Structure formats: structure tokens, C-alpha cells
């Protein structure tokens, strides 16, 4: 018998042994802990459960946003003069940078050479047709 046939016979023998409630033969590994129930993660199974989680998250985020806004407001009230100076700096038209002129490098090919290249291209197009 070849290896595949031996493996099929071994699997069939194991299945028959399991059907007759016979214990598996002792092996290399301890299987005593395999009878304990497996702890599964509980995922929301209904739309209501899912919506409840979403609402809790949205409520928490809204609460945190309100806290941040209150903290920012308190910080601005405590440091009002520097906040006003900073706002004035941002709104000052002199501090806004204007774009400089675009400076391109000098051309490497003079006009008469560009015209010659264009003529050559037009002539080659006419010859192809």
C-alpha cells in the first residue's frame, strides 16, 4: 500500500473508533484541557445592541468635545491679551506674504533653432502622408 491508502485507512479507523465511544489512543499531547468550554467574544447580535453601542460612543465623543471647548474657552479667558495679539498678527495684511515673481532659467535653445526644428517636423509629417 502506498502512503495515501494508509492514511485513508487510518482516518477511517479513527472515525469508527469515535463512533463506538472508544477513547482515543494515548498520544504525545495532553488533551485533558480540551473538554473545558471555549470562551467566545460576545458581539452585538441585534440592531438594537449595535445602535446602543453607537449611541454610547457618539454621546461620549460629544461630551469630550464639550469638555475641550470649555477648556479652550477658559484658557482664552485667562490669557486674553496674548490671544488678541495673536489674532491681530494673523489678520494683519502686512504679515500675509505675497507671491514673488516666477523666475525661470534662460532658454537653452534660441528661437531660430526652434523654428528649424518645427520646419523639420512639419516636413517629415508631409512626407509620411
Q: What pLDDT, on a 0 to 100 scale, did the predictor assign at position 23?
A: 66
Q: What pLDDT, on a 0 to 100 scale, did the predictor assign at position 66?
A: 94
Do 24 and 17 contact (CB within 8 A), yes or no? yes
Q: How far apart are CA 103 and CA 43, in angstroms?
A: 62
DSSP 79: T
User: Which three cell numbers mark 112?
Assistant: 531660430
Proportion of the chain in helix, strand, coil states, percent, rounded to 5: 65, 0, 35
| Residues written for the chain | 129
Those residues with Cβ within 8 angstroms of residue 18's Cβ, 6 or more apart along the chain or in another chain = 24
Q: How far apart are CA 51 and CA 6, in angstroms?
A: 55
pTM for the structure as a whole: 0.30
Q: What pLDDT, on a 0 to 100 scale, did the predictor assign at position 63?
A: 93
How far does CA 126 lie from the centroid of its chain? 54
Q: What pLDDT, on a 0 to 100 scale, did the predictor assign at position 67?
A: 94
pLDDT values of the chain reduced to their tens digit, one per residue, 129 residues: 788 998 998 888 887 776 656 666 677 777 777 777 777 777 777 887 777 777 888 889 999 999 999 988 888 778 778 877 887 887 777 766 677 788 888 888 888 998 998 888 887 777 776
How far does CA 15 lie from the centroid of its chain? 46
Cα torsion through 62, 63, 64, 69, rounded to 10? 90
Amino acid at each position: 500500500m502506498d502512503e495515501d491508502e494508509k492514511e485513508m485507512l487510518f482516518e477511517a479507523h479513527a472515525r469508527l473508533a469515535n463512533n463506538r465511544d472508544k477513547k482515543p489512543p494515548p498520544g504525545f499531547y495532553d488533551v485533558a484541557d480540551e473538554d473545558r468550554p471555549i470562551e467566545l467574544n460576545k458581539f452585538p447580535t441585534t440592531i438594537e445592541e449595535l445602535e446602543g453601542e453607537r449611541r454610547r460612543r457618539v454621546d461620549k465623543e460629544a461630551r469630550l468635545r464639550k469638555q475641550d471647548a470649555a477648556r479652550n474657552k477658559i484658557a482664552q479667558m485667562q490669557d486674553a491679551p496674548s490671544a488678541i495679539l495673536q489674532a491681530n498678527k494673523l489678520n494683519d495684511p502686512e504679515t500675509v506674504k505675497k507671491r514673488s515673481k516666477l523666475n525661470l532659467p534662460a532658454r537653452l535653445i534660441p528661437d531660430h533653432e526652434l523654428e528649424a526644428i518645427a520646419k523639420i517636423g512639419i516636413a517629415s509629417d508631409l512626407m509620411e502622408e
